[in-house]
Structure 1
Amino acid sequence: MDAHQDRLRNPFNMDEQCTNCDALPETRTQVVHGYGDVGGEFLVVGESPSRAADRTGVPFTGDAAGEQLQRILGELGFSRSPADATEPDLQNVFLTYLARCRHPERPPTDGEVTNCDPFLTAEIRMINPHIIVPVGGRALETLAVEYTTRSVDSFDITEAHATTIRGRGFELVPMLPLDEQTDADTEAFLEHVRENVLGRDYRQTKGRQSR
């Protein structure tokens, strides 16, 4: 964890009573802002909180999909806690979402993602990651529009899974939705990150020196 950071949960003190989206304050349990190491070189971005994350208040925790991601982070050396931890002990990685509140009957609307964009943009600017991992097609498309020069139509999450896409100032390493991954998909992602990201000086993307 960053030496100047005093907590992992919502470390930037973002609005936990947000009412920017009319429908969501009544359907959510809580606003789920980012969690993790603010000095992390990796940023994982999902679409919106699951039912479990809405309960725990921590992205990617509390259910089978969250445990899957936590196992992946453990394999990469980014988590030092059990996969079922609801407040994982993370290093070098930050977890967040496009949209911060859960509607129990539908995914976030485009308007809701837009309303939450200042939160995500602020996290990206303050963390300044080298690698962004979009989890699922919605996250990939949203980040691709903002941070690459390619048309959004040129991205397919199945084809992009476990590859590296050059962005403006960092790289995207997309991941299939956690609940859709086969064991082979997960292993392909781990192998790609170990050999093609961690196995080289990915920091040259930003010209930033190692911590």
Structure 2
Amino acid sequence: MENVTSEVSNPFGIRYYGRAVPGYGDANADVHVVGDHPGRHGGEGTGVPFTESVAGVRLQRVLHAVGLLAEPYADRPDCWNCFCSYAHPEVWRIGERADGSLDPDEAAYADAERYLDAELRAVNAHILVLVGDRALGYGLREHTALADRLPTEAAALHAQEVTGRGFLLVPVAEPSGWTPADERALVERLETILDRDYRQTKGVATTVG
């Protein structure tokens, strides 16, 4: 496949309203990892998703184990066949919500969804690795017919496969709460998927495996 760009940070030139942690990685990737927002999964200082956080350290270790990152951890990882995005890439400050929540409100997530939609279309991956409840909810709602039939808690579907419209979805429990068994399960699941012809997932019927 011809490279669409050699840039690894915000390769599609998306313009954000505020300070953001844009998509990062291989713009031709087959694996698109989607997390929540910088305050939860890291990257406010580096500008790279899944860095500077417990979640980032653990997730990068898994991606390295299955051959998608060159090192177990880096602030600017060398990605192969892997692209990372956030459901809400703009930096969200504690106290911006009246209840002091760490997370953006529903209106903010809805407004930011266009950024993720644009990156998903541009990368056109085959596998969506959905990290945490927010990313999983988005994936089930937008890319399967199962949003009202499957749990939206990522821990309940951790390291399983959900085949949707155009993507194979892999739900991932919040990495900060992983046990060693959770980490091993995700490594094994991704190795299994990457060892087979996962490109056949495009356009197949929606199932759960």
TM category, shorter = 0.7 to 0.9
| Alignment match, 1:33 | 22
1:45 matches 2:41: no
Q: Aligned equivalents of 2:85 and 2:138: distance in 1?
A: 14
Shift of 1:109: 1.2
| Alignment match, 1:22 | none
1:101 to 73, 78, 90: 90
1:146 matches 2:142: yes
| Alignment match, 2:13 | 13
Q: Aligned equivalents of 1:39 and 1:135: distance in 2?
A: 20
1:157 to 154, 157, 171: 154
Q: Aligned equivalents of 1:171 and 1:109: distance in 2?
A: 28
Deviations 1:91-124 (A, max 9, x none): 1010000001232322011111111111111111
5+ residue gaps in structure 2?
95-101, 204-209
1:63 matches 2:59: no
| Alignment match, 1:131 | 127
1:116 to 112, 116, 130: 112
Task: Give runs of aligned pairs for residues 165-204 of structure 1, distance below 5 A.
Answer: 165-195=162-192, 197-204=193-200
User: How many residue pairs are counted as aligned between the two chains?
Assistant: 194
Q: Aligned equivalents of 1:104 and 1:180: distance in 2?
A: 22
Structural RMSD (CA): 1.8
Three-state SS of the structure 1 residue aligned to 2:85 is strand
Q: Aligned equivalents of 1:148 and 1:40: distance in 2?
A: 21
Whether the aligned pair in 1 keeps the contact of 2:43 and 2:50 (CA below 8 Å) is: yes
> Which residue type is aligned with residue 113 of structure 1?
Y
> Which residue type is aligned with residue 133 of structure 2?
G
Q: Aligned equivalents of 1:142 and 1:47: distance in 2?
A: 10
- 111-120 vs 1-10, which moves further: 1-10
5+ residue gaps in structure 1?
19-24
| Alignment match, 2:99 | none
Three-state SS of the structure 2 residue aligned to 1:53 is coil
